[in-house]
Amino acid sequence: MSGSNTAEQQGKVQVGDQAPDFTLPDQAGRPVSLRDFIGKSVVVLYFYPKDNSPGCTTEAVCFRDSYVVFKQAGAEVIGISSDSSESHQEFANQHRLPFILLSDRGAAIRKRYGVPTTLGLLPGRVTYIIDKRGVVRHIFSSQFKPEKHVEEALNIVRTLQAEEGAGVSTQQQAE
């Protein structure tokens, strides 16, 4: 990368990239940083358009229903949208969501990751799987198949868990 610091120059995060760190408030208003999880767990980082919209609720509930499986496989699930912490708190309470929801009010992190919009209007729905070393191992984007994000993420998390159990270096696999 050049010395430019524009979002366009930072570009779109791709498989093999070090995931950009960030700190955002969670649904209780507490700051959460990506670096808090590096070295400890795989991170399933999913960007979604809006709390309580039909597709986003379907996606969140699917992540909820598989959350124990993700945790058993050594992964943490984190959702990000531009909604407020208060909105996230209501959304999490209403649907009994056990995972972290982060408020990206100005969409700065969404832009840093290069999450696209749909039809130029709707914030995109993209899931990033970040390994324990902070490397993006898989990206899945589908605005209209929210449940597919959970299936894709679980498959990749299980693959990473198997690699770790077999002693395979994540760096070897990324090449």
Q: Each residue of 64-86: pLDDT tens digit?
A: 999 999 999 999 999 999 999 99
- pLDDT for res 24: 97
Give the number of C-alpha atoms closer than 13 A to the C-alpha of residue 85, restricted to the C-beta side.
9
Query: Is 11 a domain residue?
Result: no
Q: How confident is the model at residue 167 (pLDDT cuts 50, 70, 90)?
A: low
Is residue 20 classed exposed, middle or buried when 0-12, 13-18 and 19+ CB atoms within 10 A define those classes? middle
Count of domains in the chain? Answer: 1
> Which 3 state secondary structure label does DSSP give 174?
helix
Percent of the residues in the chain that have a pLDDT greater than 90, as a whole number: 63
Q: How confident is the model at residue 169 (pLDDT cuts 50, 70, 90)?
A: very low
Query: Is 95 a domain residue?
Result: yes
- pLDDT for res 164: 79
Query: Is 107 a domain residue?
Result: yes
**Residue 73 to residue 133: CA distance in whole angstroms:** 16
> Which strand ranges, in their side-by-side order, compose the sheet holding 42-47?
100-103, 75-81, 42-47, 126-130, 136-141
- Active site (catalytic) residues: 56
Token digits of residue 119 = 């039809």
Residue 101 reports pLDDT greater than 70: yes
pLDDT digits (tens, 9 = 90+) for 107-141: 999 999 999 887 777 788 899 999 999 999 999 98
Token digits of residue 159 = 């693959």
Query: Is 139 a domain residue?
Result: yes
Say if CB 40 and CB 131 are below 8 A apart. Answer: no
Query: Is 61 a domain residue?
Result: yes
**Residue 9 to residue 110: CA distance in whole angstroms:** 14
Q: Which domain holds residue 154?
A: 43-164
Cα-based distances in Å from 109 to 24, 166, 167: 9, 34, 33
DSSP 114: T
Q: How confident is the model at residue 1 (pLDDT cuts 50, 70, 90)?
A: very low
> What CATH number is given to the structural domain containing 92?
3.40.30.10
Query: Is 84 a domain residue?
Result: yes
Query: Is 136 a domain residue?
Result: yes
Average pLDDT over residues 51-59: 88
Query: Is 7 a domain residue?
Result: no
